[in-house]
Amino acid sequence: MAELSLVKQSDSECDFVIDDILSEDKEISLDDTLPELQFTKFLYAFRFIENEMEKMKQNAANMIEEINSWLEKKLSSKQNQIDFMCKLMQNYLSQKGLKSLTLPSGNIGFRKQLDKVEIIDVDAFFEKATFDLIRVVPEKFEPDLAAIKSKIKERGEIPAGVDLITPPSKFYYKLNGK
């Protein structure tokens, strides 16, 4: 078999080769030419087509990135508008001393958040903690935050080394019909 080498062709020459290969009125017959020559043309066309496909993928990825960036900016702008209006409603409720307000199109108000227990000094806690405030984990002792929280509510005493954090009420709004 004779060795065939490809000469680097310009894109327009490659388009011509691909058009020649893929023309509908031309039937490809391997009997007319050497199959190796025809296959070499195919392989060259494959390289060109695959490069074009990669360019298309990259263009699509760039367009998607631009659209996502645009969308993020628009959504951020709209969220800022909602946040601004929520602040106005929060201020109104606070000034009037209201916890909630029912309106024709929905409800607004403050929800009390659950208290959180934070162990600020583990050693001080374990020094004075009773067994019911400790959860046994194999080979490890750790404070049982739920039990501690329950005990604080029950007795009103905060164990040594524990801090009770009461977060501020959380503002909410609920639209009717959703």
Q: What pLDDT, in 10s, does the model give residues 81-124?
A: 999 999 999 999 999 999 999 999 999 999 989 889 999 998 99
Q: Which residue has the higher pLDDT, 149 or 21?
A: 149
In a domain, 4, yes or no: no
Q: Are residues 113 and 75 in the same domain?
A: no
In a domain, 42, yes or no: yes
Give the pLDDT band (50/70/90) at residue 9. Answer: very low
Q: Is 2 among the domain residues?
A: no
Same domain, 67 and 144: no
**Number of compact structural domains in the chain:** 2
Listing DSSP states for 109-141 in one string gives EEEPPPPEEEES-HHHHHHH--GGGEEEETTEE
Is the pTM above the cut of 0.85? no
Q: Do 15 and 80 share a domain, yes or no? A: yes
Per-position b or e across 130-168, b if 16+ CB within 10 A of its CB: eeebbeeeeeeeebbeebbbebbeeeeeebebbeeeeee
Is the domain of 94 the same as that of 144? no
Are 142 and 64 members of one domain? no
Is 47 within the bounds of a domain?
A: yes
Residue 1 lies in a domain: no
Domain that holds residue 80: 9-98
Residue 61 and residue 27 share a domain: yes
Examine residue 150 and state whether it is found in any structural domain, yes or no.
yes
Regarding whether 169 and 112 lie in a shared domain, the answer is: yes
| Same domain, residue pair 94 and 105 | no
